[in-house]
Structure formats: structure tokens, C-alpha cells
Amino acid sequence: MNYLAMNRDELIAEQQNLLREYTAFKNMNLKLDMSRGKPSREQLDLSLDMLKITDYMDSSGADARNYGHLEGIPEARQFFSQILGVSPAETFVGGNSSLHLMYHMINLGWNFGFPGAKIPWKDCNKVKFICPVPGYDRHFRITETFGFELISVPMLPDGPDMDMVEELVRDPAVKGIWCVPVYSNPDGYIYSDNTVTRLAHMKAAAPDFKIFWDNAYGVHHLGDIRETCPNILQQCRKAGNECRPLLFFSTSKITFAGSGVAALGACLEIMKAITNYFFSNIISFDKVNQLRHVRFLKNEGGIAEHMQKHAEIIAPKFNVVIDTFNKGLAPFGNIARWTEPRGGYFLSLYTMKGCAARTVELCRQAGVTLTGAGAAFPYGKDPDDSHIRIAPTFPSTKELGTAAHLLCVAVRLATVERLLNSER
Ligand SMILES: Cc1ncc(COP(=O)(O)O)c(C=O)c1O
């Protein structure tokens, strides 16, 4: 049954069928929130043993319960340096949120200026930032809050459209780009070697251009294939641009979301500026949490083992959504497409143009809250009104099956309405 080949009468008949199905969902009185990518309780329980800590001395002999080690306790710097792919001296271990570190790095550039900047960003006439879309709403929100002009660049399966990025960075007002290189939020795409090389080598007019390299999902594989991407600091160093990248990571989706540990990597020159910046801001971050994380996760092998347990819980949830879309959307013509990530926390559903907001509204009225349509775009505006971010981790598999089924009905209903309203 191809909706795009149907005449008006056929579409009206289909609309009636769909309305009956939709009403049945409404009568189920569902109450489900799928609006944010949160771990489920079962996932959080995997890390409960981490809280059983009795010895608080760190590897330097200092008491983690006391002030000290602004850049993080030595074993935490060592641990996160391996994940970030930088040296321990190039690693700063912070508090419970990588987003918070990102905000502070924008603030550093804004108020004080990064090494190499002639003036801080606040004194520039205009500051622009590149936002691969769809992307992470909270990244965009940080740069929007500082009043930057956000420039959308399409996110392709191998990273942002680099032809556009290379063109844009010729403008000295363009000060940076947001990147989620592995299992991007929300498409689940991975930056290719070529994309990383081009980001490292491109000629940026701003001497203080920064790549915000947020590898939030770098170890969050769903199956046996473990996607990676080249080390951005090494690539930038090779290109003579070692001050360009700021690398972020956190354990929010490994241990506890909101009570994990975040880390930041950068070359030594930038690291000095970062440490200086935080010195006037805080005495030390939560080192007890750093210590228990390192003791619990141990090393890269320990993380891999732990992430395997997460994958066993969440991979079936991704599969439920994708199977439901295959059955509930694919047979009706080219009315939607979706990504099938091999890791991370999200997938993207793309409806026909002009149908996403209506789909989300139909779901809301039937008791299922999705991320608002457009949320993954700067200023919350998807110019095509076609993108919906799906966050499958939090609900149970059963709830997810129901929600995904409702979503299919809502997409089909929104599509039929759209086709009926368009000139045919
Ligand atoms: C790409 C990305 N970065 C960062 C975060 C937030 O991380 P944190 O809890 O460390 O601030 C999220 C949360 O969804 C995310 O998707």
C-alpha cells in the first residue's frame, strides 16, 4: 500500500482506518515519557556496587575526602586519559557533568579568550558556531545562551558536511564546531577518517577556532561491532593545530546519569589555561566520586565488560523500535526513514516534510511524550519539520513496543492528512 500513489478517496478511507486505530491507543490511557535519553533503572542498578567504598586514600596517598588535586586525582587522570586518547597531563577530571565542562569552556573563550586569541569572544563583533544537524539540543543551547549565531550544517552518515564546514571556517567570526564523533546524538552516525583529517587540517581563519569533541557515546556499543574514530588531538597535532580540539567524555551513561564523572582533554598549552580558569572557580571537584569510579570500572577492559551489560539491556529496545518501524512504516511507500545505530542512546526518525510536529502532537494526545519536533536543531526549529529523535533506553521493552506502534500510526495519520491537504 503506497500512500504516495493513492487517490483522494483511497486516502480518505485510509484516514478513517487510522483514526480507528489511533482512538484505540487513546483509550489505553498510556502515560509514557520518551523525551530524554535516560538510562533505565535496570541499567543504573548495574553500578550499585560502586557505592561500597571504604578506603578513601588515592594513589598519591592523599585523602580523597579532602581538598586538593584540582585537575583530578592521579588515578582518575590516568583512567580518563586512556579513554580520551591523550596523556594524563593532558587530562582534566571534573565533576558530574561533561556538559558543565563544555559550558565552562565556552565561558573561558567568551570571558578570557583561549591562548592564541587576540581578544576574548565577548569583545568580538560577532561570534558564530557550527552546529551539525540534527544534533544535541543542549550543545546548541549553550552557544545560544551566549548569543552566538548558530549555523546549521547537515550531519551526513560520515560526519558533518565538510565542504560546507571548510567554507564556513574561512570566516574569522566562526569560532568553533560541536561534534559527537561516535554514535552521534541523535542519528548514531560515526565520523569517518576522512572527516577527522579534514577537521584537523582545515584552514580556520580564527586562530582560536575550537573543535568541541564530545565523545559521550564512545564506548556505548550495542553489538559486537565496536565503532571508533581517529584520535582528534593526534590528527590536529600532525596538522600543526594542536590547540584546536577540546575532548570531552563522561560516565553519565556508564554509571549514574547526573552522578558520574566528566573529563576533558586538551594539549598542554590549553590545559594550563583550563587549570588556571578553574582555579578561580573551585577548590576541587568531587574526588570521592572520581576514586570510586576508577576502583569500580578499573580500566578500559573493565569499561568494556560493564558496557556489555548495558548493551544486553538496551540493544533489544533498539531492536523493538526498528522492527516496529519496519513493519509499521516501510510497507506504506516512501513516507519515512530511520537510522539504525550500532551504539549510543538515540535514533532518528525522519517523516515526510511537514509531518514531524503533527506526529509528536498526535503521540502526546495519546499519552506518549516524545522529544519536541525540531529540538535537535538550533533555536528548536527544523526547517523541514521532518525530524523526530527517538530515545529508547528508559521505557521497558513492552512499553516501547506499544509506543513505537502508536508512533507508526501517528506518522501514517500525519502523512495522510498532509497528502490530503496538499494539491493533488
Ligand atoms: C552528546 C551528549 N553529550 C553530553 C551529554 C550530557 O552528559 P553529562 O551528563 O556528562 O553532562 C549528553 C546527554 O544526553 C549527550 O547526549
- With a 6 Å cutoff on the Cβ, whether 211 touches ligand 1 is no
If pLDDT is split at 50, 70 and 90, which confidence band does 339 have?
very high
Query: How far apart are the CA of 98 and the centre of ligand 1, in A?
Result: 6
Query: How far apart are the CA of 388 and the centre of ligand 1, in A?
Result: 18
Give the per-residue pLDDT at 129: 98
- With a 6 Å cutoff on the Cβ, whether 96 touches ligand 1 is no
Query: Cis bond leading into 383, ω under 30°?
Result: no
If pLDDT is split at 50, 70 and 90, which confidence band does 123 have?
very high
- With a 6 Å cutoff on the Cβ, whether 180 touches ligand 1 is yes
If pLDDT is split at 50, 70 and 90, which confidence band does 138 have?
very high
Task: For 344-355, give one letter per residue: b (16+ CB within 10 A) or e.
Answer: bbbbbbbbbebb
Counting residues of the chain whose pLDDT is more than 70, the rounded percentage is 100
pLDDT digits (tens, 9 = 90+) for 232-287: 999 999 999 999 999 999 999 999 999 999 999 999 999 999 999 999 999 999 99
Q: Which atom of ligand 1 is nearest to the CA of 37?
A: 14
Counting residues of the chain whose pLDDT is more than 90, the rounded percentage is 97
Mean pLDDT (the chain) is 97
Q: Is the pLDDT of residue 424 over 90?
A: no
On whether the CB atoms of residues 367 and 423 are closer than 8 A, the answer is: no
Q: Is the pLDDT of residue 34 over 90?
A: no
Region 167-190: what's the mean pLDDT? Answer: 98
- Please state whether the predicted TM-score (pTM) of the whole model is above 0.85: yes
How is residue 400 written as a grid cell? 516501547
Cα distance from N-terminal residue to C-terminal residue, the chain: 18
pLDDT digits (tens, 9 = 90+) for 305-337: 999 999 999 999 999 999 999 999 999 999 999
- With a 6 Å cutoff on the Cβ, whether 98 touches ligand 1 is yes
Query: How far apart are the CA of 283 and the centre of ligand 1, in A?
Result: 24
Task: For 251-264, give one letter per residue: b (16+ CB within 10 A) or e.
Answer: bbbbbbbebbbbbb
Closest Cα to atom 12, ligand 1: which residue?
A: 216
Closest Cα to atom 2, ligand 1: which residue?
A: 216
If pLDDT is split at 50, 70 and 90, which confidence band does 14 have?
very high
∠ CA 323-325-330, rounded to 5°:
110
Query: Ligand 1, residues 34, 35, 38, 99: which to mutate, most atoms within 8 A of Cβ?
Result: 99
| Closest C-alpha among 91, 113, 142 to residue 246 | 91
Region 151-174: what's the mean pLDDT? Answer: 98
Q: Please give the domain boundaries of the chain with CATH numbers for all domains.
A: 3-43+311-421 (3.90.1150.10), 56-303 (3.40.640.10)
If pLDDT is split at 50, 70 and 90, which confidence band does 53 have?
confident
Give the per-residue pLDDT at 423: 62
Place of cell 482512538: 23
Give the per-residue pLDDT at 321: 97
How is residue 392 written as a grid cell? 529508547
pLDDT digits (tens, 9 = 90+) for 350-409: 999 999 999 999 999 999 999 999 999 999 999 999 999 999 999 999 999 999 999 999
